[in-house]
Amino acid sequence: MAPPYPSFSHMCFVRRNGLVSLFFVVFLSLTLKAKANRWANIIIGIFYTGFNLIGLPTYPSAIKEKKMNTNMVDVKIILSALWVAAMFVWQQGDVQRLYSGDFIPGETKLGEMMSPEMLWMISAITMTIPVVMIILSLTLNYPVNRWANIIVGIVYTGYNLIGLPRYPSAYDKFLIFVSIVFTALIVWFAWKWV
């Protein structure tokens, strides 16, 4: 009976083969003249594209399980990466707001509605939830993970849509729009995840 997964020696061969080919391509790039270098890279690119299209031999008993596990891991990584991207966009907006002069420290538009401590606490919670979602997207089980990403993604998409008209600068509107795209993609990937 064949083992359900490729052997360790098979994986080492593939990894070693990839490193050897990388060094070979770098060596060719440094030693060949421009025209020969271009043709060598084209030939090697075609070879490795064909190699990747054909794929490595997989044991028949592992094909179905591998597809299921790959889909689950891929979606988890995509969701986590989208949360990271949204966080970077929000942080970039905060930094640009400080440097452009659109935000003056100590000046709050909501200061009359709530205390500054409460405002900072809400801000901290608002920015901590996506950080937690980065980790939870990678660690939670499938049904909880899927619904957590759908619910939190919808909340943040709505939150950004409501806040979009408040920002006067074009760069801020652009960054909020990009973050809306990221949070909408989170909802879409989580919704399509089966």
CA 130, CA 120: separation in Å to the nearest integer? 16
| pLDDT interval class at 94 (50, 70, 90) | confident
Question: Which amino acid is it at 108?
Answer: T
Among 26-30, 99-103, 131-135, 163-167, name the most confident range: 131-135
User: Tell me, what's the pLDDT at 182?
Assistant: 96
Tens-digit pLDDT profile for residues 46-90: 655 555 545 544 444 444 544 545 466 789 999 999 999 999 999
Tens-digit pLDDT profile for residues 18-42: 544 555 555 555 565 666 655 666 6
| pLDDT interval class at 115 (50, 70, 90) | confident
CA 39, CA 29: separation in Å to the nearest integer? 11
User: Tell me, what's the pLDDT at 157?
Assistant: 96
Question: Please, what is the average pLDDT of the chain?
Answer: 75
Strands (E), the chain: none
Q: Is 179 exposed, middle or buried (0-12, 13-18, 19+ CB in 10 A)?
A: buried
Name, in order, each residue with C-beta under 8 angstroms of 177's C-beta and a sequence gap of 6 or more: 164
Contact 122, 111 (CB under 8 A): no
DSSP the chain: ---SS--HHHHHHHHHHHHHHHHHHHHHHHHS-HHHHHHHHHHHHHHHHHHHHH-----GGGHHHHHHHHHHHHHHHHHHHHHHHHHHHHHHHHHHHHHHTSS-TT--SSTTTS-HHHHHHHHHHHHHHHHHHHHHHHHS-HHHHHHHHHHHHHHHHHHHHHHGGG--SHHHHHHHHHHHHHHHHHHHHHHH--
pTM listed for this prediction: 0.60
Average pLDDT on 107-114 reads 62
| pLDDT interval class at 12 (50, 70, 90) | very low
User: Tell me, what's the pLDDT at 76?
Assistant: 92
User: Tell me, what's the pLDDT at 99?
Assistant: 83
Question: Which amino acid is it at 111?
Answer: G
CA 160, CA 83: separation in Å to the nearest integer? 14
Tens-digit pLDDT profile for residues 118-148: 888 988 999 999 999 999 999 999 899 999 9
